[in-house]
Amino acid sequence: MILVTGGAGFIGSSLVRHLLRTLDEPVVNLDKLTYAGNLQNLASVWADRRHVFVHGDIADGALIAGVFAEHQPRAVLNLAAESHVDRSIRDPDSFVQTNVVGTFRLLETAHAYWAALPRERQDRFRFLQVSTDEVYGSLDSAAPPASESSPYAPNSPYAASKAAADHLVRSFHRTYGLPVVTTNCSNNYGPYQFPEKLIPLAIHRALAGEAIPVYGDGGNVRDWLYVDDHCEAIARVLAGGRPGETYNIGATNEVANIALVKLLCGILDEERPRRDGASYAQQITFVTDRPGHDRRYALDAGKIGRELGWTPRESFATGLRKTVRWYLDDQDWVKNVTTGAYRDWIARQYGASADHPQGDHSGRRNGNAALSAHQGRI
């Protein structure tokens, strides 16, 4: 049994699908269902008996302890987070609550559970923290990509909250011996990404005939990785990563934002030409830069290649086209997300279901009673 947190989000849902496809093992998926959690992302595995969905908050120690006691996981993969930098600038509080306090509670509960396991199960247990390249801060254009030994220098409240969580994870290994591994990944793209993030936002705005906003001069550089490659890398680190170590995950694929948006417009011009025959690139609009906007992220992912044999499968050209096609083909998903209808996807899909937590986003602290009430397996 593997416990995944944040498994109704963009990367988490891809990871849950990946684990169920590649391992013969049940997955408990614990998610608070914030605005970013979408059960429709899990439609393809919802009928799989090995997938157990639990509605809850990683900061709810009693609930988490109940999940550990009931499901006896051999690993925790922590993806639950507030993840959008712009939101962290407007509302840093929720980032500290989930990313720092939540990760701490999860660690604390995992530690208590792990400490009581027999030795042989202790040795096999893993707490895998999914983190970001943003903790390394902004790189000059000539600087080498960040490696696992680069210093942390987070600049946004989001990056700072993830950095704080990573330090707590490290401390639980050094202090208590909890077998942790941390992964720091570059920007992900692919299907099911909430359309507040650059790629789905640009696609959505382009198709809606609206301005496609690009921050500042568009010269900010990100290192892009296809989401399924990230999930495969996480699975590799889970299987073979050394406790106490961190692994960078990236595709050595640095692209300036403006170049990326132009690429997207070019693909859309081919796949879904505008009625007037003009390019979607005409809709690109430069907007006031984000405060403290990091100029460049780049990752040296040599270690995971050398130690665990992982390399990305997807090229940027194929991954980007696949992603655009998915958004074009799955307009139902896009419509449900943009209208907010994804909030009651389960009710509409399966009829009102008493054992499902629709609409309850409180993350109440009421232990096992809440656990069973919040457990929806279909």
Ligand X SMILES: NC(=O)c1ccc[n+]([C@@H]2O[C@H](COP(=O)([O-])OP(=O)(O)OC[C@H]3O[C@@H](n4cnc5c(N)ncnc54)[C@H](O)[C@@H]3O)[C@@H](O)[C@H]2O)c1
Positions annotated as catalytic residues are: 133-134, 158
Closest CA to 45 of 192, 240, 227, 185: 192
Among 2, 3, 4, 9, binds ligand X (CB under 6 A): 9
Which is closer to ligand X, CB of 76 or CB of 130? Answer: 130
**β-strand 51-55 against 375-376: which pairing, if any?**
antiparallel
Which is closer to ligand X, CB of 98 or CB of 283? Answer: 98
Residue 76, classified by CB atoms within 10 Å of its CB into exposed (0-12), middle (13-18) or buried (19+), is buried
Q: How far is the CB of 102 from ligand X (least distance, A)?
A: 4
Q: How far apart are the C-alpha atoms of 5 and 13, rounded to whole Å?
A: 10
Q: Residue 333, interface with ligand X (CB under 6 A)?
A: no
Q: Which of the ranges 9-17, 266-274, 315-323, 339-347 carries the binding residues for ligand X, by CB under 6 A?
A: 9-17
Token code pair at residue 247: 């692994």
Q: Residue 79, interface with ligand X (CB under 6 A)?
A: yes
Q: Residue 18, interface with ligand X (CB under 6 A)?
A: no
The continuous run of DSSP H or E covering 164 comes out as helix 157-176
Q: Residue 106, interface with ligand X (CB under 6 A)?
A: no
Q: Residue 181, interface with ligand X (CB under 6 A)?
A: no
Q: Residue 83, interface with ligand X (CB under 6 A)?
A: yes
Among 19, 20, 80, 238, binds ligand X (CB under 6 A): 80
| Beta strands per DSSP E along 81-160 | 126-132
Using CB under 6 A, count the residues that bind ligand X. 30
Among 64, 81, 202, 207, binds ligand X (CB under 6 A): 81
Q: How far is the CB of 329 from ligand X (least distance, A)?
A: 20
Q: How far is the CB of 58 from ligand X (least distance, A)?
A: 4
Q: How far is the CB of 320 from ligand X (least distance, A)?
A: 14
Token code pair at residue 44: 């393809």
Q: Residue 207, interface with ligand X (CB under 6 A)?
A: no
Phi, psi of 164 (to 5 degrees): -60, -45
Among 2, 3, 4, 8, binds ligand X (CB under 6 A): 8
Q: Residue 36, interface with ligand X (CB under 6 A)?
A: yes
Kindly provide the b/e burial profile for residues 103-133, where b requires at least 16 CB atoms within 10 angstroms of the residue's own CB. bbbbbbbbbebbeeeeeeeeeebbbbbbbbb
Tell me the β-bridge partners of 286: 214
Q: How far is the CB of 377 from ligand X (least distance, A)?
A: 18
Q: Which of the ranges 109-117, 181-189, 269-277, 296-304 carries the binding residues for ligand X, by CB under 6 A?
A: 181-189
Contact 188, 227 (CB under 8 A): yes
Q: How far is the CB of 363 from ligand X (least distance, A)?
A: 6
Among 66, 102, 137, 191, binds ligand X (CB under 6 A): 102
Q: How far is the CB of 277 from ligand X (least distance, A)?
A: 34
Q: How far is CA 258 from the centre of its chain?
A: 23
Q: How far apart are the C-alpha atoms of 280 and 264, rounded to whole Å?
A: 9
Q: Residue 182, interface with ligand X (CB under 6 A)?
A: no
Q: Residue 187, interface with ligand X (CB under 6 A)?
A: yes
Q: How large is the C-alpha radius of gyration of the chain? A: 20
Q: How far is CA 6 from the centre of its chain?
A: 7
Taking the CA of residue 48 as centre, how many other CA atoms within 13 Å lie in the half-sphere pointing to its CB?
21
Q: Residue 6, interface with ligand X (CB under 6 A)?
A: yes
What is the dihedral sign for C-alpha 96, 102, 108, 110?
negative
Q: Residue 254, interface with ligand X (CB under 6 A)?
A: no
Q: Residue 33, interface with ligand X (CB under 6 A)?
A: yes
By the criterion CB under 6 A, which residues form the site for ligand X?
A: 5-6, 8-12, 31-34, 36-37, 57-59, 79-83, 98, 102, 130, 132, 162, 185, 187-188, 194
